[in-house]
Amino acid sequence: MLAFLLRRLAVALSVVLTVSVIAFLLLHLSGDLATDLAGPEASPEQVARVRVEYGLDQPLMVQYGQWLAGAARFDFGRSFYFRESVASLLGDRIPITLKLGAIALGLALAVAIPLGALAAVKRGSWFDRAALAFCALGQAVPTFWLGLTLIIIFAVNLRWLPVSGNATWSHYVLPSVALGWYAIPAVMRLTRNGMLDVMASDYIRTARAKGLRPHTVIFKHALRNAVVPVVALAAVQFGFMLGGSIVVEAVFSLQGLGQLAWEAIARKDFPVVQAIVMLLATIYILLTFLADLLNAWLDPRIRVA
């Protein structure tokens, strides 16, 4: 197990490093940043001063080294736009996006796992078919459009919930539904398939044969085992949600990481964009690493691979 852990850790770390090179190069090879920064009316001297001030006169390798060294300590330099450190900008926005992602994931799991389990138990019934049809339809709905439609229905017509902002808990309801929606079909299908596999296994037949009540068999014996791969999927989905929250935050004007990223891209505020790409990638890598470990811990066969 230790060898497996170290090997996976080495891979995860080198993926983080590669992503950092991509994030850095992507935004640095795109032309002369200093000219952009100084503005269209700047004199050559002003451009030169900006170049020195932001360290853009250094060789690319040196700039990358400095940026990486800073990034390792969560210091991503200063924003081009706000004249504030990127780290403090991120610090303000991260809690909002994490909260949104956590509620969205919670909602998605709370809907998808029971539906998937029930669909498997009643395999082939109208309920199973309806659940699968719901999955197909669910995956076809664009997140931003779902968000706008939820606003029209629940905020404008029914007036149950606020349109946008992040002042209270009720402001998170609609964005979380919009963000969690896309994860429901995947989780539901996995739960359903997992349940079908488990229900066909010998130990479930034994449990049934010794006369346990059906719902004890289903919930205590079957669902517990069927849900194991779902935990790993949930970790990955959470990573996707943090990346996808950019669309939802734009729709609901939630001032989270996604909104910051979108605004930073529009303003060519590269240090902020780089930092957010790096942060989201690192979180994703960490989550998949933990999911791998969990799977390996639960299923020793994986450790050999």
Partner 1 sequence: MSTTSASASAPAAGFDPVPVRRSPLARFTKRATRHPGFMAGAVLLAVILVLSIGAPLFTAHDPYAQDISRRLIPPVWHDKGSWEHWLGTDKLGRDYFARLLYGGRISLMIGAATVLLSGIIGTALGVAAGFFGGRVDMVIGYIINVRLALPVVLVALAVAALVGTSLNTVIVVLGLLLWDRFAVVARSTTQQIAHADFVGAARAIGCSTRLIVFSEVLPNILNPLIVVATLEMAHAILLEAALSFLGLGVQPPLPSWGLMISEGKQYMFFSPWVITIPGVALVALVLGINLLGDGLRDVTAPDNRS
Residues found near partner 1 in the complex (CB under 8 A): 11, 14-16, 18-19, 22, 26-27, 30-31, 136-137, 139-145, 148-149, 151-152, 156, 242-244, 246-247, 250, 261-262, 265-266, 268, 273, 276-277, 280-281, 284-285, 288
Dihedral, CA atoms, 140, 146, 149, 153, nearest 10 degrees? 110
* Joined tokens for residue 76: 């991503």
Q: Which is nearer to partner 1, 192 or 221 (CB)?
A: 192
The residues that bridge with 85 in the sheet, in sequence order, are: 78
Q: Which is nearer to partner 1, 5 or 212 (CB)?
A: 5
Quote the least distance from Cβ 207 to partner 1, whole Å. 27
Give residue 165's region: left, alpha or beta (phi > 0; psi -120 to 50).
left
Helix (H, G, I), strand (E, B) or coil at 54: coil
* Joined tokens for residue 182: 């896309």
Quote the least distance from Cβ 50 to partner 1, whole Å. 19
Quote the least distance from Cβ 281 to partner 1, whole Å. 4
Q: Which is nearer to partner 1, 176 or 245 (CB)?
A: 245
Quote the least distance from Cβ 211 to partner 1, whole Å. 32
Q: Which is nearer to partner 1, 49 or 268 (CB)?
A: 268
Q: Which is nearer to partner 1, 79 or 227 (CB)?
A: 79
Residues 115 and 185: beta-carbon distance below 8 Å = no
Maximum distance among all alpha carbons in the chain?
Answer: 87
Residues 23 and 281: beta-carbon distance below 8 Å = yes
Quote the least distance from Cβ 84 to partner 1, whole Å. 20
